[in-house]
Amino acid sequence: MIVDAFAGPGGWSEGLRLLGHRELGIELDPVACATARAAGHERLEADVAALDPSDFIPCTGFIASPPCPSFSNAGNGRARDVDLVIACARDLAAGHDSRAEYRERCEDERSILSVEPLRWALAVEPEWIALEQVPAVLPIWQVLAEILRERGYSVWTGVLEAERYGVPQTRERAILMARRSGVVHPPEPTHQRYVPGEPQRHDVTMFGEVLPWVSMAQALGWGATARPYPTVACSSTTGGPDIEKVGGSGARAQLYEEQAAGRWAVQTNNFSAVARDSDGGRSAAGSVRYERSCDAPSRVFQPGGHHANDGRVSNAEDDGRSRNAIRVSIEEAAVLQSFRPDYPWQGNKSETFRQVGNAVPPLLARAILAGLVGEPLEAAA
């Protein structure tokens, strides 16, 4: 059995599915559980921290992406909580469960959830482990790596860039990979690293073929034509309520640079829509294609009625400057995370965007898991 703790709507699940495997996902959020089940993934709606890991033995593989609000770029008390989580981890390794004590001392009580992967690993002793979090959690993963090595695991920790594995988004994640047999290596990149100003290119290296990074335009058919999209954000501290749905250090500035340089094209087709000029003029409703660089007068694009592609382009003022602001639909945000376009998201708009923003990109999950899991279920049968 493979156990996926803090499983969410199914990022890791989709990565496993691409490799021919299934897992039992544990998730407290009922809406995320509903999404995963609608997509065909098994979910146990429960609190990972309240469960007894010994009830899940035998466990071949263990996956975890603990909640990260306190460790995001905007999180308060991040450094203090990292130190407290590390101290708690060392207690667990010594046989002392001090989670309740450290939970009270943390600035954000959710921070202590980052020690759960170690508690589970020590209890179920899986053949392999895969952990994911924001880059600020890397010091915690490094301490967990020390503890796991003492117990016979080969371990790799580091930061992976999602666009290097075909995800059309510049998203960095701290990763821990461990296994009992063999030596663990990070996954070889399949795509070019995005460097601002560097064009897409197809290379053949000593490690094999490296494809160009995937732009937003390639993923959606519209958008930033010269770079992947910045990190899709979901929380209020990382820009979630803003219509661009972008987060990460300098992400919004990067997006606006693309717009100002005229490399942003917006298009929508085959549904009823109205395009409004900046002076209030109207064009005819119907199938609309709108492509315009941002050095021209600003326009408003407003789709009419309810439609799955409900992205909008409108004026936005910032320091006296007018610019186009982009809203991506839930389906588009999901594609930018490398989910399949028809993934069955459940819940209202804020709940679905939160699920997308919190999920592990399936293509990144597949790359990480490919070097850890065994033969697919069908081949092993």
pLDDT at 332: 87
- Note the pLDDT of residue 220: 78
Residues 6+ apart with CB under 8 A from 248: 73, 170, 171, 172, 230, 231, 233, 238
Whole-number pLDDT of residue 78? 64
For the ranges 104-108, 197-201, 371-375, the one whose mean pLDDT is highest? 104-108
Q: What is the pLDDT of residue 132?
A: 97
23 lies in some domain: yes
Q: What is the mean pLDDT of residues 200-223?
A: 82
Q: Verify that 322 and 294 share a domain, yes or no.
A: yes
- For residue 103, give Cα distances in angstroms to 48, 68, 93, 100, 164: 15, 15, 17, 5, 36
CATH no. for residue 374? Answer: 3.40.50.150
**Both 81 and 38 in a single domain?**
yes
Name the band, by pLDDT with cuts 50, 70 and 90, for residue 244: low
- What's residue 249's pLDDT? 63
Percent of the chain with pLDDT over 90: 56
Q: Using the 3D structure, point to which of 327, 352, 369 is the last residue of a domain.
A: 327
Res. 125: pLDDT tops 50: yes
Average pLDDT, the chain: 79
Residue 232 lies in a domain: no
Number of Cβ within a 10 Å radius of residue 51: 17
The band of 29, judged by pLDDT with boundaries at 50, 70 and 90, is very high
Q: How many helices (H) and strands (E) does the chain have?
A: 12, 18
Q: Three-class SS of residue 273?
A: strand
Residue 226 lies in a domain: no
Tell me whether residue 335 is in a domain. no
Q: Give the residue among 230, 301, 300, 303 at the shortest CA–CA distance from 272.
A: 303
The reply to whether 18 and 58 lie within a common domain is yes
Is 227 part of any domain? no
Q: State how far the Cα of 276 lies from the Cα of 381, in Å rounded to an integer.
A: 59
Quote the pLDDT of residue 222.
Answer: 66
Rounded mean pLDDT of 325-346? Answer: 86
How much helix, strand and coil, in percent to the nearest 5, is found in the chain?
35, 20, 45
133 and 267 housed in the same domain: no
Q: Which ranges in 45-172 belong to alpha helices (H)?
A: 78-93, 99-105, 116-124, 138-150
Closest CA relative to residue 4, chosen from 108, 130, 96: 130
- The pLDDT value recorded for residue 377 is 46
Same domain, 171 and 258: no
Highest-confidence segment of 11-15, 268-272, 331-335: 11-15
Average pLDDT of the residues in 242-253: 65
In this structure, the answer to whether residues 72 and 6 fall within a common structural domain is yes
Is 224 within the bounds of a domain?
A: no
**DSSP class per residue in 325-369:** EE---HHHHHHHTT--TT----S-HHHHHHHHHHSPPHHHHHHHH
Q: What is the reported pLDDT for 218?
A: 82
Report whether pLDDT(309) > 90. Answer: no
- Residue 116 in any domain: the answer is yes
Q: Please report, for residues 134, 160, 348, 353, the alpha-carbon distance to residue 171 in angstroms, rounded to integers and kept in the order given.
A: 9, 8, 25, 16
Could you give the number of structural domains in the chain? Answer: 2
Task: Flag whether 209 is in a domain.
Answer: no
Average pLDDT over every residue of 33-37: 98
Query: First-to-last CA distance in the chain?
Result: 14
Q: Which domain holds residue 18?
A: 2-193+343-380
Global pTM? 0.77
Q: Based on the domain organization, do 37 and 181 belong to the same domain?
A: yes
Calpha distance 213→290 (Å, rounded): 25
Q: Which residue has the higher pLDDT, 148 or 77?
A: 148
Residues 165 and 276 in one domain: no
Question: Residue 92 pLDDT > 50, yes or no?
Answer: yes
Question: Same domain, yes or no, for 301 and 362?
Answer: no
Is the model more confident about 371 or about 196?
371
Rounded to an integer, the average pLDDT of 305-319 is 31
Lowest mean pLDDT among 56-60, 103-107, 269-273, 358-362: 269-273
Asked if residue 6 and residue 91 are part of one domain, the reply reads yes
Do 304 and 187 lie in a common domain? no
Do 266 and 243 meet the contact criterion of CB atoms below 8 Å apart?
Answer: no
All residues at 6 or more sequence positions from 289 whose CB lies less than 8 Å from its CB, including other chains: 267, 268, 269
* Vertex 70 angle, CA 95 and 368, to 5°: 70
Burial 229-257 (b: 16+ CB within 10 A, else e): bbbbbbbeebbbeeebbbbbeebbebbbb
Helix (H, G, I), strand (E, B), or coil: what is residue 153? coil
Considering the domain architecture, whether residues 320 and 348 belong to the same structural domain is answered as no
**Tens digit of pLDDT for each residue in 62-72?**
999 998 777 76
